[in-house]
Structure 1
Amino acid sequence: MTRNVLSLFTAGLLFIGCAETQTGLSKTQSGALIGGLVGVAAGAATGNHSAKRILIGGAIGAAAGGGIGYYMDKQQEELNKELKGSGVQVQRQGDTINLNMPGGITFDTGKAAIKSNFNPVLDDIANVMIKYPETRIEIQGHTDNVGSDADNLKLSEQRAQSVTTALINRGVESTRLSPVGYGESKPIATNDTPSGREANRRVEIKIIPNPAK
């Protein structure tokens, strides 16, 4: 029976890989499925091959495998709700949540002081971050290519630090936060048009699962 379980385990992993690619299976779903398969294999490996023991192992493994993805899913749901209509884009890459804050809604041109009308949005972001403490947060400043490299780098660093300070003042632990400026080095659009340059002038907040937690 152990040989049969291992064969099913291998086939299951292959199936999950195909399903994630072809049907958009979420990281939470694939994590839970993989965890379940691991639990099944562990249950069978105990030497007690009863269906009950194997099913229990599968259930435990599924809960553990889906944990990180589920935790990030819930944060994303709350951020989508809180930031709807704010101009902040909530995006997901694997288990990382990315908040794209266009410079036009957060800062005046060439300035690093946060606009006063953006403070309620930062309140909402901080509240969700505090509610979900098992993450680390990278605050990235970006600019367009207008001006010198040195000036753009300095401005991006100052803007990242402004957002970091604002979050700390709202109760987010400073040890979770890492501000960094990239200047004009990471554009997401062309700098040849006004709309492209506007898109590149931004602050991004990356919310990343903390493996140490």
Structure 2
Amino acid sequence: GTIPDSCWQTSPHMVVTFSVGSTRVTGTETKELIRRLATNYSESESRFIVISGHSDPSGSTFDNYRLSRARAKEVHTLMRSAGLDSSALYMIGRGEDHSSSNLPRRRVEIRDCTRAE
């Protein structure tokens, strides 16, 4: 399936930042925030959560896409381990996407797009 344009027009509920070249979520507090968000989504019966990974422009386009996808996968795994059903989660790597100039480049954005379906 495709992600509706209206989903990208909403602000992310959470932005997780990463170090250069990293795909790991660090920090107990960040992991706990992801867990709480997953629990909230589960309790509100959200069924279309978009997890989009992003990279900075250093490195090749292919490597940046792969890195952005691995970052999204890391957050996906954390949300699944918090009990959110995998059928509600949609993961995408956006590589060097610069659509949100006010956000850090090395990031994962989490959005509830249930209402955008």
Structure 1 residue 163 and structure 2 residue 68: aligned?
no
After TM superposition, give the deviation of residue 100 of structure 1 in Å.
Answer: 4.1
After TM superposition, give the deviation of residue 149 of structure 1 in Å.
Answer: 0.8
Q: Report the TM-score when normalising by structure 1.
A: 0.46
Counterpart position of 1:207: 112
Pair 1:128–1:97, CA change in 2 (3 A): farther
Cα distance in 1 between the residues matched to 2:116 and 2:16: 29
After TM superposition, give the deviation of residue 179 of structure 1 in Å.
Answer: 0.6
Q: 1:137 aligns with which of 4, 27, 49?
A: 49
Structure 1: state its 5+ residue gaps: 1-92, 190-195
Q: 1:181 aligns with which of 76, 93, 96?
A: 93
Counterpart position of 2:26: 115
| Kept in 2: contact 1:164–1:179 (CA 8 A) | yes
Structure 2: state its 5+ residue gaps: 1-8
Cα distance in 2 between the residues matched to 1:111 and 1:202: 10
Q: Pairwise mapping of residues 1-213 of structure 1 onto structure 2 (< 5 A)?
A: 93=9, 96=10, 98-103=12-17, 107-117=18-28, 118-189=30-101, 199-209=104-114
The residue type equivalent to 2:106 in the other structure is R
Task: Tell me how many residue pairs correspond in the alignment.
Answer: 109
Cα distance in 2 between the residues matched to 1:139 and 1:116: 19
After TM superposition, give the deviation of residue 202 of structure 1 in Å.
Answer: 1.4
After TM superposition, give the deviation of residue 154 of structure 1 in Å.
Answer: 0.6
After TM superposition, give the deviation of residue 128 of structure 1 in Å.
Answer: 0.8
The residue type equivalent to 2:13 in the other structure is L
Counterpart position of 1:81: none
Q: Report the TM-score when normalising by structure 2.
A: 0.79
Does 1 or 2 have the higher relative contact order (CA < 8 Å, sep 6+)? 2
Three-state SS of the structure 2 residue aligned to 1:171 is coil
- Taking only the aligned residue pairs, the percentage that are identical comes to 29
Counterpart position of 2:5: none
After TM superposition, give the deviation of residue 98 of structure 1 in Å.
Answer: 2.0
Pair 1:173–1:188, CA change in 2 (3 A): same
Deviation digits for residues 37-89 of structure 1, max 9, x if unmatched? xxxxxxxxxxxxxxxxxxxxxxxxxxxxxxxxxxxxxxxxxxxxxxxxxxxxx
After TM superposition, give the deviation of residue 211 of structure 1 in Å.
Answer: 7.8
Cα distance in 2 between the residues matched to 1:110 and 1:211: 32
| Kept in 2: contact 1:187–1:200 (CA 8 A) | no
After TM superposition, give the deviation of residue 144 of structure 1 in Å.
Answer: 1.5
Determine which structure has the larger helix proportion and give its number.
1
